[in-house]
Structure 1
Amino acid sequence: MNLNVVIMAAGKGTRMRSALPKVLHKLAGLPLLQHVLRSSAELQAQRTVLVTGHGAEAVEATVGADVRCVRQMPQLGTGHAVQQAVPALDDTAGTTLILNGDVPLIRPATARALAEACAETKLALLTVTLADATGYGRIVRSADGQQILAIVEHKDASDAQRQIREVYTGMMAAPTAALKRWVAALKNDNAQQEFYLTDIVAMAVSEGVPVVSAQPADETEVLGVNSPLQLAELERRLQRRHAEAQMEAGVRLADPARFDQRGLLSCGQDVEIDVNCIFEGSVTLGDGVQVGANCVIRNATIAAGAQIRPFTHIDGEADGVTVGEGSLIGPFARLRPGAVLGREVHIGNFVEVKNSTLADGAKANHLAYLGDATVGARVNYGAGSITANYDGANKHRTVIGDDVHVGSNCVLIAPITLGAGGTIGGGSTISKNTPENQLTVSRAKQLSLPNWTRPVKVKKP
């Protein structure tokens, strides 16, 4: 299919009450415009043209070099927007598909069906029947209902026309050559003195060009965002769609209404997810993984049988986080970028791990920090202990051998290596390498001072 795609993203979005351009407000963690761009990318168009206006620089900065940007200044209606796009269209593409940057959930299959309905010879409109059609352009058909005669904008519609429930969604596909001719002939003799793209329907009818319609699978695909309320409502619809897809694949959600997927979530068999969990970026949960309530997990791979206990925060950022099979994480644990945990690793409450590897069976169960560390198998890392990995200018690494026991409240000053099988006495500050299979203690001598009295507060006269 020879195709241009035009995405309208010039509007200010006054009802959003925000300095941020409307199409950059986020839905499921992604700007509205990016949802549309992702769908349109699957169509493999010869050219994608983005029409910007309000906040143009910020909007254009979010798109790739493969998207051509044109500006609509000032914004004089949808027809005027397409007029700006016309010079950037690929003339060899027989069909031009027009999408809206603030209608984020259009499925690629629906967009493709709309373009195919055009077939390079017809004007195809994406329509939907709504219980409440307020604000939408109405589809006016012939008496037998077979022919589309016009689209009447809500503000220009008569009382009788406002009773029509079939509406225009703002998306259409037209023969490129005809579209160029029609938009050049648009006039602004209407209540708003704007150039309406919908007026090309009457032009097509007058030329004998068939005007046909295509419909989405459900109305959620064509709902736009004009206010924070609509954005929140669409967020819940999308999250419900995600929840249903996960449950159909076998995931057990404690409450699908309290589940947020803001990226890609891949789950194995028998995965259980409790309430109020957020998944961002790319997350993979292996067979039998259990995620407790109120967890946030971003860019992580969690292997089979692992348990992520409540209130755990895992954020892999660009480097990712890996949790091995059968590991126990949390509650109230934090795994940061570069954390790589082996099999049956235990990370307990208020333990933070960053840019560190923990081999099979290692444990840090309470109130500890492991940064820039390589931790061997079966290590027990005591409560209150930290790796002092930063000297004020550079990061250094701590290496802890297999079977080391680190007592409570220890400071390990990197760079340092703790020999396998060694024990670090509680309360030690270790700044030198330690030998294997020995107890190493570094503490000040304990003193008790007789006849010592505490200072007392001096009373002011």
Structure 2
Amino acid sequence: MMLGEREMALNVVIMAAGKGTRMRSALPKVLHKLAGRSLLSHVLGRAAELGAQRTLVVTGHGAEQVEAHVGAAATCVRQEPQLGTGHAVQQTVPALDTAHATTLILNGDVPLIEPATAAALAAACGGERLALLTVVLQDATGYGRIVREASGERVLAIVEHKDASAEQRAIREVYTGMMAAPTALLQKWVMALNNQNAQGEYYLTDIVAMAAAEGVPVVATQAADEVEVLGVNSPAQLADLERRFQRRQAEALMNAGVRLADPARFDLRGTLTCGQDVEIDVNCVFEGAVTLGDGVKIGAHCVLRNAVIAEGVVIHPFCHIDGDKDGVSVGAGSLIGPYARLRPGAQLGAEVHIGNFVEVKNSTLADGAKANHLAYLGDATVGERVNFGAGSITANYDGANKHRTVIGHDVHVGSNCVLIAPVTLGDGGTIGGGSTIAKNTPPDQLTVARAKQVSLAGWKRPQKKR
């Protein structure tokens, strides 16, 4: 959601300098992940959706890691040392573009603000007013309180929790740490801040009193949902926000007709597109971009990443489907698992069966092919109606290079066979169980390659010396 033409002139400042002591981690707080993406990545995405002309990220603790993570997505400005939120914005003053009349300030550890809420906040500023994003909380501990005039309309100040009186701490409307201000005035106000407070820090919230003293209107817009403004300061808060976010995603899917066995045991860490009558059992994880066709059934404890699953597919419990960059596709009516693994480049046709403890990597299986037990297919092209026996593998790696195995249509590969690539098995052929195949085999013939069975009379097993 982008701002209208009048509000398009927009700077976005993302506060990402904090140490996050309570996370008890060497990783900067804003790089911890929510739903598979860093907290900061979520907020950078919001800035992009708003169509910001200039996005600045204030870094400090772990600056090099954070800046490497940001890359070309924004301009980074360092805050060293970290002397409060007002001091952080002071560092951005030379980089703010006053041609962009509004500056929107977001927090790198508050990842779930909705684009509509951020856009409304910027629009409330309109380059003329100081706009604050607030929310009403049952427990406002730790948040800056919104102090209004007697009528309750005009905002007079924000008082930090540690500096608030008992009467002020009773206020339930709190400042979320996000605001939008006229850029030129913001530059002037933050440079006039002082640190005469209990913590000896420069509070960005002090600009509210400055605006009120100058007669600049101070307005407040409220977030529709508490989840939008919850920050992360500890592993417990991160876990709580993860579950809240996952519940929201689960409800959206169920509203679209997806049947989740238990929405409390569901994780989406990317995008999930579902057809009609999709069923998903408990403890399934979806990462990257996953598409499920009509009537797909996903068993318990499955992980799917970057995969396209066609209609009518059944994926039994405990399967791992990881398309990574190359993707995985499963054709209509196929049966997968349980305990199967499909790796990048696995492309399965219709009615393919991949059974328990079978692994497929960078291989194409045509319609009706089956590998039902304890097998490995790597770098292989498998024809229609092939039956690949239990314990059989394609030996695709010679220690330096990968080679391909081509299996023709209607081939039957017996149990415990090794196909040493590069090798081609002719259409309709049969490979006897226990064979090691290193040469191409003819079509429609039985090929057996195993040592002659020998029994040695009188042989005794070696004994340990006593």
User: Same fold, TM exceeding 0.5?
Assistant: yes
Distance 1:344 1:144 in 2: 70
Amino acid in structure 1 at the alignment position of 2:108: G
Distance 2:27 2:453 in 1: 61
Size of the alignment, in residue pairs? Answer: 459
2:146 counterpart residue number: 139
Amino acid in structure 2 at the alignment position of 1:368: A
C-alpha offsets along residues 25-61 of structure 1, whole Å, 9 cap, x if unaligned?
0111110000111111110011000000000010011
User: Are residue 226 (structure 1) and residue 233 (structure 2) matched?
Assistant: yes
Distance 1:349 1:181 in 2: 67
Amino acid in structure 1 at the alignment position of 2:425: L
Amino acid in structure 1 at the alignment position of 2:211: A
The secondary structure found in structure 2 opposite 1:246 is helix
Per-residue deviation, 1:455: 2.6
Distance 2:234 2:434 in 1: 57
Amino acid in structure 2 at the alignment position of 1:191: A
- Contact preservation (8 Å) 1:46, 1:90: no
User: Are residue 11 (structure 1) and residue 18 (structure 2) matched?
Assistant: yes
> What is the 5 A alignment of 1:117-136?
117-136=124-143
2:114 counterpart residue number: 107
Amino acid in structure 2 at the alignment position of 1:77: G
1:205 counterpart residue number: 212
1:345 counterpart residue number: 352
User: Are residue 388 (structure 1) and residue 395 (structure 2) matched?
Assistant: yes
2:163 counterpart residue number: 156
C-alpha offsets along residues 274-295 of structure 1, whole Å, 9 cap, x if unaligned?
0000000110001100000000
Distance 2:343 2:97 in 1: 46
- Contact preservation (8 Å) 2:277, 2:295: yes
TM-score, normalisation: structure 1:
0.99
TM-score, normalisation: structure 2:
0.98
> What is the 5 A alignment of 1:243-262?
243-262=250-269
Amino acid in structure 2 at the alignment position of 1:217: A
1:80 counterpart residue number: 87
2:336 counterpart residue number: 329
User: Are residue 361 (structure 1) and residue 368 (structure 2) matched?
Assistant: yes
State which of 312, 322, 336 in structure 2 corresponds to 1:305: 312
RMSD after superposition: 0.7
Q: Segments of 4+ in structure 1 off by > 3 A?
A: none
Per-residue deviation, 1:458: 2.8
Amino acid in structure 2 at the alignment position of 1:206: A
- Contact preservation (8 Å) 1:396, 1:414: yes
- Contact preservation (8 Å) 1:350, 1:366: yes
2:408 counterpart residue number: 401
- Contact preservation (8 Å) 1:416, 1:433: yes
Per-residue deviation, 1:66: 4.0
Distance 1:107 1:87 in 2: 29
Per-residue deviation, 1:64: 3.4
Amino acid in structure 2 at the alignment position of 1:151: I
Distance 1:402 1:63 in 2: 50
Amino acid in structure 2 at the alignment position of 1:104: P
Per-residue deviation, 1:448: 1.7
1:96 counterpart residue number: 103
Amino acid in structure 2 at the alignment position of 1:162: R
Distance 2:463 2:65 in 1: 62
User: Are residue 377 (structure 1) and residue 387 (structure 2) matched?
Assistant: no
C-alpha offsets along residues 145-181 of structure 1, whole Å, 9 cap, x if unaligned?
0110000000000011000000000000000011011
Distance 1:116 1:64 in 2: 28
* Unaligned residue ranges in structure 2 (runs of 5+): 1-6
Structure 1 range deviating more: 89-98 or 449-458: 449-458
- Contact preservation (8 Å) 1:261, 1:278: yes
C-alpha offsets along residues 324-374 of structure 1, whole Å, 9 cap, x if unaligned?
100000000000000000001000000000000000000000000000000
1:267 counterpart residue number: 274
* Unaligned residue ranges in structure 1 (runs of 5+): none
> What is the 5 A alignment of 1:396-435?
396-435=403-442
Distance 1:69 1:392 in 2: 45
Per-residue deviation, 1:90: 1.4
2:179 counterpart residue number: 172
The secondary structure found in structure 1 opposite 2:199 is coil
Distance 2:209 2:463 in 1: 93
